[in-house]
Amino acid sequence: MENQPNSIWVRVWNRVSVQNVSDRLMVVGVLQAECHKCHNPMLEAGARRCPECGTTFSFVAFRKNVQPRDLELYADLTMIDLDDFMKEVSRRKAHNLFEQ
Ligand SMILES: [Zn+2]
């Protein structure tokens, strides 16, 4: 979807499986990218697979301001809002603590 004159980037809300996202998420920061599954922080920009655990990424989240080049670099992945996702992960962890 590179610079197509009739398309734009817009954020879309989708219902997702927390487990599915957790298992296939890459988190991109200012200087490095991390595999959410094994927490390997040494992923190269644009990676699609974690060399440590073998995860193939389907989702990407950003721990920085997203630039247009980021959108193009990860256009084949589903981009998710990291705050939305981590709020739910934290809520589930807290709930599980009280269940034990
Ligand atoms: Zn990994």
Domain limits for position 64:
18-99
Q: For residue 90, which phi and psi values (nearest 5 degrees)?
A: -65, -40
Q: How far is the CA of 35 from the centre of ligand 1 (A)?
A: 5
Number of compact structural domains in the chain? 1
- Answer yes or no: is 8 within a domain: no
Return per-residue pLDDT of the chain as tens, 100 residues: 556 789 999 999 999 999 999 999 999 999 999 999 999 999 998 999 999 999 999 999 999 999 999 999 999 999 999 999 999 999 998 998 888 7
As a whole number of angstroms, the distance between CA 28 and CA 32 comes to: 6
Q: How far is the CA of 95 from the centre of ligand 1 (A)?
A: 26
Q: How far is the CA of 74 from the centre of ligand 1 (A)?
A: 17
- Answer yes or no: is 10 within a domain: no
Q: How far is the CA of 34 from the centre of ligand 1 (A)?
A: 8
Answer whether 0.85 is exceeded by the pTM.
Answer: yes
> Residue 97: its pLDDT value, please?
86
The sign of the CA dihedral 6, 80, 76, 46 is: positive
- Answer yes or no: is 12 within a domain: no
- Answer yes or no: is 71 within a domain: yes
Q: Who's near 74: CB < 8 A, 6+ residues apart?
A: 28, 46, 60
Please report which residue ranges of the chain form alpha helices under DSSP H: 18-23, 68-73, 82-99
- Answer yes or no: is 1 within a domain: no
Q: How far is the CA of 47 from the centre of ligand 1 (A)?
A: 11
